[in-house]
Amino acid sequence: MPTIADIIQQAAAQYGIPPEYLMRAAQLESGMNPAARNPNSSAGGLFQQIDSNWKQYGRGDRFDPVASADAAARFWRDNQAAYRKTFGSDPTGDQFYLMHQQGGQGGINLLRNPTQPASSVVSEDAIRLNAGQPGMTAGDFANLWTKKFGAGTQPVGSRAATAPDAAGAPGVAPLTPAAPTDGLGPLMAQLLSAQQPPAAEKPPEGGKKPKRNDMASIFANASPNLVLA
């Protein structure tokens, strides 16, 4: 049975998307939970696709992680092409994510107009519901998510979806890697290694067990800050 990591890697490979970028987006959007729902919008599933995006890219059940990852990777492929046409280069991970969050054109508009008020480039709700503040410029808002993408933080505000554990989703194994991480990029290797169950630890004197690293600390230690073009 494939893990969530397996599913994301397969979709990324199929459509030419860096797998560590797609993995990070799933962690930010849903906490890697294919059953996640956002109570404040129509967003749902592993990549929190809204109704309009799912109508365009979805195939099947939005809460099926295979369908969600496939739709997200195809959406990213189209966004990559639009970014290349506009800027003449490939997007970085945080730029990919900004286009996922704000739509392809919305993300590009934010990047092209960094000194303009963010709410004049995309809608006020698009800023407010994604941790933005009144008076932010487009550059301020983009940099906010550059830092979050690179720092390994959990979703904030209304984007933090609530749902049962991903391990309870039908047909999906708990998030443990099925293959070694040799040959993967350093971020992806640490993402997958972070999901492996640790060997049994003998408590030190005093009876206290050492604290395990969580996902946020793995990202904080592994990911350099990304810089918007």
Q: Sketch the domain layout of the chain as residue ranges.
A: 4-159
Report pLDDT for 205. Answer: 53
Place of tokens 């404040």: 40
Q: Using an 8 Å Cβ cutoff, are 71 and 78 in contact?
A: no
* Per-residue confidence in pLDDT tens, the chain, 229 aa: 899 999 999 999 999 999 999 999 999 999 999 999 999 899 999 999 999 999 999 999 999 999 999 999 999 999 999 999 999 999 999 999 999 999 999 999 999 999 999 999 999 999 999 999 999 999 999 999 999 998 643 333 333 333 333 444 434 433 333 333 344 444 544 444 444 444 444 445 555 444 444 434 433 444 444 334 4
Q: Using an 8 Å Cβ cutoff, are 26 and 47 in contact?
A: yes
Q: How far is residue 40 from each of residues 32, 49, 98, 159, 208, measured CA to CA in Å?
A: 19, 13, 19, 8, 41
CA separation for the pair 137, 134 (Å, rounded): 9
Report pLDDT for 151. Answer: 64
**Which residues have a Cβ under 8 Å from the Cβ of 82 and sit 6 or more positions away?**
99, 104, 105, 108
Residue type, 65: P
pTM of full prediction above 0.85: no
Q: Using an 8 Å Cβ cutoff, are 44 and 36 in contact?
A: yes
* 3 state DSSP class of 162: strand
Q: Using an 8 Å Cβ cutoff, are 141 and 95 in contact?
A: no
Place of tokens 């993402």: 191
**In this structure, which CATH number among 3.30.565.10, 3.40.50.720, 3.90.230.10, 1.10.530.10 belongs to the domain 4-159?**
1.10.530.10
Find the DSSP H helices in 136-180.
138-151
